[in-house]
Amino acid sequence: MTNSDNLPATDSVPSTGRVPAARPAAQPAAPPAAANGAVIGLDIGGTKTRGVRFEQGQAVADESVGSSNVQNVSREEAALHLAELFAKIGGGEIAQVYAGAGGIDTDEDAAALAALIAPHVPGAKITVVHDSRLLLAAGGASTGVAVIAGTGSAAWGKNARGEEARAGGWGYLLGDEGSGYWLGREAVRHSLRRMNQGLEPDELTTALLRSCNVDDPNKLIALFHSPETGRRYWAQQARLVVEAADAGHVASQALVEQAGSDLAGLAAQALRKLGIQGPVILGSGLGMNVVRLQDSFKRGLAAEGVTDVRVLEQDPVFGVLQLVAEQE
């Protein structure tokens, strides 16, 4: 399970060290899927669901609602969010819905999400894929490896023979290394280690305590395990690590460096399985916005001999047109 998210943590990553995520006016030069109906592209992350309605290859509506990913919210909440979204961008004749979502690991996962979408688009073709496929297409590549660095993390790729490979994407309990959640959790671990060593709170711990509205590192333990917090809550704290790193905090710099290196490791695993050298496209909230992480990611892949590394310059949902065109 991985959610690209469009990470809450990195939606709010500070401006220092950022590359602004482009939201292009012009869409990729891919033909519309059907002349007689609209195409709806969905990017379903752990925090939000973004929907874009395309008509004749052009985006005519672009809306976001809460998450519709059933690994993050209940089916009832997911259904409500989808109903809200389609009320905004649906209507008229819809030829196809192409949805990318975290946690789509089996045909059953895809079918379950398609069943939630179907009532809103009677007669439309519905395609559900892992959200990393959107990322690769949005980067203008039909082959290569896409790396998600958002609330969660994963790598997915395809070679010219149509073979596919994934690395990571196991979810926050088993992996998600280099993700926003990972950075948030490591900030907590850093603070607790300092507490155990009898050290005063440093810049990162002080920022974390303030953000979490607690006055002692010891209280972070109960808060971390509280049902009132969760992976999205702790992923939001990733911005504190990025801010501290950019301000010169050595331990935070090491954490961001490690995140980039771990993400590069996922990409390298997928590349080896596919027998290709790239391109590698880095996307999602952290990947598109944190220059320090991007640099570490590129260094890690350079050490593997991989030089065709790109940072996504448009939101993944705009990869839908290319994916629809490839179906024809």
Question: Would you say residue 3 has pLDDT above 70?
Answer: no
- The per-residue pLDDT for 223 is 96
86 φ, ψ to 5°?
-70, -25
Label residues 132-157 b or e (16+ Cβ within 10 Å = b).
bbbbbbbbbbebbbbbbbbbbbbbbb
Q: Where are the beta strands (DSSP E) in the chain?
A: 38-44, 48-55, 58-66, 94-101, 125-130, 144-149, 153-158, 164-168, 280-283, 309-311
d(CA 113, CA 107): 10
Of 328 and 88, more confident: 88
pLDDT for 84-118, tens place per residue?
Answer: 999 999 888 899 999 988 777 788 888 989 999 99
pLDDT for 240-259, tens place per residue?
Answer: 999 999 999 999 999 999 99
Instruction: Kindly state the DSSP code that residue 119 receives in the 8-state scheme.
Output: G
For the entire predicted model, the pTM comes to 0.79
Q: Where are the beta strands (DSSP E) in 115-199?
A: 125-130, 144-149, 153-158, 164-168
What size, in residues, is the chain? 328
